[in-house]
Amino acid sequence: MPFYIILLLLFFNHLQAQEAPYRSGELLLQFEKGQDAKKWQGLKSITSGKLKPLDEAWNLYLLEFDTLNFTTESLLKNLQKDKAIRFAQPNHILSLRNLPNDPKYDQWQWNLELLGLPIAWEYSTGGLTAMGDSIVVAVIDGGCDLGHEDLSANIWKNWHEIPGDSIDNDINGYVDDFFGWQVVNENDQHDANSHGSSVSGIIGAVGNNGVGMSGINWNLKMMQISAQEQDLLLESNIIKAYRYLLDQRRIYRLTAGEKGAFVVAVNLSAGVDYGKAADFPIWCAIYDSLGAEGILSVGAVMNNNINVDNLGDMPTVCPSPFHIAVTNTTRYDGLDVNAAYGNRHVDIGAPGAVYSTRPANTYNVFGGTSGAAPHVTAAIALLSAFPDLRWADFLKTESADAAKEIRNIIMLGAEDLTVLEGKTSSGGRLSIGKSMQLLDERQAIPENALSVQPWVGGQILLKFNIKEPGDYVYDIFDVLGRLRYRGTLSAAMADIYSVFLDWELIKKEMIFIRLSTKAGKRLGVVKF
């Protein structure tokens, strides 16, 4: 028997072995069409049994019985033989889906409910794209408590580097960058900084682990880049920090995911008050460079009730389409009295004074625009984890366009607030739930143009649902995204075309197959 069939059998046996919880002393009955449940003779044999209507149009009833006289299993077995009954089953107990069991979630994390996270978590809780790429968010700050009970599992590690051997093992230009990078000391040693720890907790404190709080992403990797020098964040060090994460994303692309990191966003909850873009040409130009690789940058506006359109603020006023500037909103959707605004340069609002992680396994409220920005950074990561192969393929192959699409979805999905009209370009407050639903609507395609299935004789069968005559290309990638095979197809008319390929072409490993027009328009992608 083939190994993959054995695995499937084991999987289904495992599923069958897990019995869904149910309420003792109750069964759900659906009677056959035309059967009058009120005249059901079987009730007489069930001591102390009571039949209550649930939905008479569907002939559904709830049977209550005494567990001292019957067990659920024995009574169910008998009822399933009754010809008057179509279905008999236990009254199963449901659990709420994708609400974390972290103890501080219900007590303190009002911001997650406000942003529609329970809706977004129904799609994904973060961590991986549909093609299996590990999603990474970079945090440029003063450091982070890497050993925190609610952060350590989600800290990015460069597994191609051997820590502490003073050798650049992965030849990426950085020696011993196992835990990210400390740009001042040029190592991977980070201070357990309170500010950076709190920013990281909002983005990705481990969710549903029964400990502390939940991040917006339950699972993802946070690349820590410390840029603080003697309590100062210098522009030169900020530039070095951006350079590091940009290198990691480029390496990931050039090595088809073998090295580097799939960085989708970077958070900087810092800036220069009253700064003008003309005075920071190098810094501002970086955001376009990052965006070209598919990285969105998020910045916090200054904590001052001023109009930055007139008075300036860096990096808020940088003109890049790949930068999102975030102001601070309150628990009751007001604009914080100490938060900056600006119709042209401030993009969106997000909650600021929220609960988060602090060093030494502690938690507390973390406020200001520094707390608002990481909500948007986290939203980018969570949207990147939307479970659709075409979306995951788009993120990798058309990275800059995908970054712009995520930014657009975040802006369009914002919750309209009167207090933000004319004070932000979106006119609203971040709503991750609405943005995820909007992404779902945009990704909905009635029919995939491509399907694949195993065939006899060591072959696989590809089927292409071609809607228009023309020339097409189908590419086969391995799990690391490396191109293994390219074929062409000429369609004389709209029809379903089939191609048989030798299984050995892909060496029996997980693959992705993509169909495109010769002009490069993607029509479908499947995983096999």
Which domains does the chain carry?
Answer: 3-92 (3.30.70.80), 128-443 (3.40.50.200), 450-527 (2.60.40.4070)
Residue 166 has pLDDT above 60, yes or no: yes
Residue 295 has pLDDT above 50, yes or no: yes
Mean pLDDT of 499-528: 73
Residue 519 has pLDDT above 80, yes or no: no
Q: Reduce the DSSP state of residue 283 to 3 states and report it.
A: helix
Residue 185 has pLDDT above 70, yes or no: yes
Q: What is the pLDDT of residues 201-241, one digit of tens each?
A: 999 999 999 999 999 999 999 999 999 887 778 888 899 99
What is the per-residue pLDDT for 19? 53
What is the per-residue pLDDT for 508? 55
Beta bridge partners of residue 94, listed in sequence order? none
Residue 3 has pLDDT above 70, yes or no: no
pTM of the entire structure?
0.76
Query: Where residue 68 falls among pLDDT bands split at 50, 70, 90?
Result: confident
Nearest Cα neighbor of 212 from 149, 156, 146 is 149
Mean pLDDT of 26-55: 88
Asked if 296 and 324 touch (Cβ cutoff 8 Å), the reply is yes
Q: What is the pLDDT of residues 416-470, one digit of tens each?
A: 999 999 999 999 999 999 999 999 887 754 456 777 777 766 777 888 888 888 8
What is the per-residue pLDDT for 199? 96
Residue type, 244: Y
Mean pLDDT of 493-503: 82
Which residues, including other chains, have CB under 8 Å from residue 427's CB and lie 6 or more apart? 414, 416, 417, 420, 421
Mean pLDDT of 359-383: 95
Mean pLDDT of 61-88: 88
What is the per-residue pLDDT for 103? 87
Residue 8 has pLDDT above 60, yes or no: no
E strand map for 142-270:
181-182, 221-226, 228-229, 232-233, 262-268
Lowest-confidence range among 101-115, 185-199, 355-369? 101-115
Asked if 329 and 369 touch (Cβ cutoff 8 Å), the reply is no
Q: What is the pLDDT of residues 337-353, one digit of tens each?
A: 999 999 999 999 999 98
Q: Are strands 313-314 and 272-273 parallel, antiparallel or unpaired?
A: antiparallel
